[in-house]
Amino acid sequence: MESIQSSLKQWTQDNDTFQQRLNDAKASLLADPIVQKALKNVPVTEETFEKGLIKLYELQKELHNCQNCPGLSRCPNMMKGYQPELIIAGKALDLSYQPCDLKKQQDHDQKKRQLIQSFYVPKDILGATFDQLDRDHEREEASRKALAFALQANPGEDGQGLYFYGKFGVGKTYLMGAVANELRDRGIETYIVYTPDFFREMKSSISNGTFQEKLDTVKRAEVLILDDIGAETISGWIRDDVLGAILQHRMLEKLPTLFTSNYDYEELEEHLAYSERGGIEELKAKRIMERIKHFTTFVTVEGANRRIR
């Protein structure tokens, strides 16, 4: 009997100790400024508080992590980049997780990056900015017109674009990359397309059923940059059913199209007149060129070949 009484006494003492620890933990929780601030905005009864202790401990832990933020990549919270907010769900305490400022910025930056889409364009071009351009007089006019376009472009209202003509390696594509990044900062979707590879892709996409989807994507971009047009092997189908369809839609919808080329207007028209079968179709080439000429400003890009430095 004595051993039973001793055990009961010990159990009672242990239970009292546990209850004291629990009371101390609750008092510490309530004294935390983070918890006090959260409870101010939520009507909490004693019963709700007692039943919601686990949620309050979770809130306390997660928000303390946020106060000592080690950066988004090392965020220790259960949902990386998210912080809890105390709410009432029914009659119980609950947590609603919202993205923190760092997560919002990351999502914003990612969304901005997605505004630039590319087909076969080098990554260094996608990172080009006007601040990084060489300050040389040979490209001053081209740089100025490129920046003016990037700052003033208004897709859907003004379909006027640019046609950058120059020798190989003078920096035409890099300028277009800077334009795309400036447009991205303005929230304008831009597609940069390396024309020869894109036309080859369109040819092969007929067999896998993706032709129309790809064509529509490029047709509808707010701003389209066709890089190195004229470097492709032309065919009547590419000229009329791909390039012609793209330009016709963009002309009607007032969506600006920009071009880079080693050919001037007259040389490009001559190139477009030839087909892979060896025929010459001057009238069809002229129709394409009329659309290009009417909706672009011709800009000569001069300077030394930067690729051999």
Q: What does 201-265 look like in DSSP terms, one character per residue? A: HHHHHHHHT-HHHHHHHHHH-SEEEEETTTSSPP-HHIIIIIIHHHHHHHHHHT--EEEEESS-H
Q: What is the mean pLDDT of the chain?
A: 84
pLDDT in tens, 252-264: 999 999 999 999 9
Measured distance CA(155)–CA(136) in Å, rounded: 30
DSSP 160: -
Residue 155 CA: distances (Å) to CA of 79, 102, 114, 152, 305: 39, 31, 18, 10, 33
Query: Where do the domains of the chain lie, and which CATH numbers do they carry?
Result: 15-104 (no CATH), 114-308 (3.40.50.300)
When pLDDT is cut at 50, 70 and 90, the band that residue 156 belongs to is: very high
Residue 247 CA: distances (Å) to CA of 72, 250, 253, 257, 274: 43, 5, 10, 8, 19
- Which has more confidence, 250 or 278? 250
What is the pLDDT at residue 115? 46
Q: Dig out the tokens for 148 from the structure.
A: 């003016």
Residue 188 CA: distances (Å) to CA of 74, 113, 154, 248: 32, 11, 9, 21
